[in-house]
């Protein structure tokens, strides 16, 4: 149980284009979803927290107009990187929490974004 | 501010035991997690402690002392596949998860 999927697992895009990453909780309802970014050899950096049906809460320094987050249902959240630049190249990981089990977060497998 | 400290890197020998420490200063405490992350992969859950003491789960054990703001992850009978980063994370009073930078564990034959 508690499986989270992400799609795509990797994507290469040209500078200036937008990329959408999907995060789905497959066997539970995720009241809260989290989006992280991780650069090579660095720890996870929380970008934003989203609750179903409400606007995401962004961490300081994360541009909400550049990283659009939608949490339209209890099983799906999307992150859209708009007007991507090479410095946005990173490993993007989502996690989901049902809020029932110690606020444990179940992680998706991650999406590796490369912007050329 | 909120702070979680872990060693950056540790090296151990296959078959041995290693202890990874984590100290934290957070605004409130509602539990501590340990996650394992292999290179290029997402973290996977290892343990959760909210009360003082030792929780044992197979080869892995996790200890918590709330009064000292301290936890450790103990790995026994180390295997090469245990080479990974180990992340300590604390839930604060606002139920936010505060992450440590992780400890990279290198296992040598």
Q: Within an 8 Å CB–CB cutoff, is residue A51 touching chain B?
A: no
CB atoms B48 and A93 under 8 Å: no
* Residue B81, min C-alpha distance to chain A (Å): 18
For residue A42, give Cα distances in angstroms to A62, A76, B94, B104: 17, 27, 25, 10
Q: What is the mean pLDDT of residues B42-50?
A: 90
User: How would you class B29 by CB atoms within 10 Å of its CB: exposed for 0-12, middle for 13-18, buried for 19 or more?
Assistant: middle
pLDDT for res A42: 80
Residues of A in contact with B48 (CB under 8 A): 102, 104
Q: Do residues B17 and B10 make contact, with C-beta atoms less than 8 angstroms apart?
A: no
Sign of the torsion angle spanned by Cα atoms A30, A32, A37, A42: negative
pLDDT for the residue numbered B61: 97
Which residues on A lie below 8 Å from B35 (Cβ)? 107
Could you tell me which of A114, A109, A116 has the C-alpha nearest to residue A39?
A: A114
Distances (CA, A) of A56 to A29, A76, A106: 17, 13, 18
What secondary structure does DSSP assign to B19-76, as a single string?
A: EEEEEEE-SS-S-EEEEEE-TTS--EEEEEE-SSEEEEETTEEEEEETTTTEEEEEE-
Q: Does A102 touch chain B (CB under 8 A)?
A: yes
Residue-level pLDDT at A18: 97
A110 touches chain B (CB under 8 A): yes
Which residues in chain B are contacts of A34 at CB distance < 8 A?
97
Provide the pLDDT for residue A103: 66
Is the distance from CB of A94 to CB of A35 less than 8 angstroms?
yes
Mean pLDDT across chain B: 94
Please give the pLDDT value at position A102: 56
- Please answer whether residues B27 and B88 qualify as being in contact, where contact means their C-beta atoms are separated by less than 8 angstroms: no
Q: Which helix (H) or strand (E) holds A24?
A: strand A19-25
Q: Is the pLDDT of residue B95 over 80?
A: no
Q: What share of residues in chain A are helix, strand, coil (percent, to 5)?
A: 5, 50, 45
**Which residues, at least 6 apart from A103, have a Cβ–Cβ distance to it below 8 Å?**
A97, B30, B31, B91, B95, B97
A32 to chain B, any CB pair closer than 8 A? The answer is no
**A-to-B residue pairs, Cβ atoms closer than 8 angstroms:** 41
Residue spans of alpha helices (H) in chain A: none
Give the minimum alpha-carbon distance from B42 to chain A in angstroms, rounded to a whole number.
Answer: 5
Intervals of chain A under pLDDT 50? none
Which chain A residue is nearest to residue B96, measuring alpha carbons? A103
Query: Which residues of chain B does A42 touch, with a Cβ-Cβ cutoff of 8 Å?
Result: 101
φ, ψ for residue B82, nearest 5 deg:
-80, -10
**Between chains, do A107 and B42 touch, taking CB under 8 Å as contact?**
yes
């Amino acid at each position: 149980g508690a499986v989270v999927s992400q799609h795509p697992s990797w994507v290469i895009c040209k500078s200036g284009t937008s990329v959408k990453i999907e995060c789905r909780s497959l066997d539970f309802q995720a009241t809260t979803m989290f989006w992280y970014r991780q650069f090579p050899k660095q720890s996870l950096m929380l970008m934003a927290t989203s609750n179903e049906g409400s606007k995401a809460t962004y961490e300081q320094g994360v541009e909400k107009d550049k990283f659009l987050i939608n949490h339209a249902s209890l099983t799906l959240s999307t992150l859209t990187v708009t007007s991507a630049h090479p410095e946005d190249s990173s490993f993007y990981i989502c996690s989901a929490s049902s809020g029932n089990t110690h606020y444990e977060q179940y992680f998706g497998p991650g999406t590796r974004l490369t912007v050329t | 501010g909120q702070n979680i400290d872990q060693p950056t890197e540790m090296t151990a020998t296959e078959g041995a035991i290693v202890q990874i420490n984590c100290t934290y200063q957070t605004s409130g405490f509602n539990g501590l997690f340990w996650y394992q992350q292999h290179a290029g992969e997402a973290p996977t859950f290892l343990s959760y402690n909210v009360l003082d003491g030792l929780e044992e789960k197979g080869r892995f054990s996790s200890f918590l002392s709330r009064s000292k703001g301290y936890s450790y992850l103990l790995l026994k009978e180390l295997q090469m596949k245990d080479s990974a980063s180990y992340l300590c994370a604390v839930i604060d009073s606002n139920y936010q998860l505060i992450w440590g930078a992780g400890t990279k564990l290198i296992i040598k034959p």
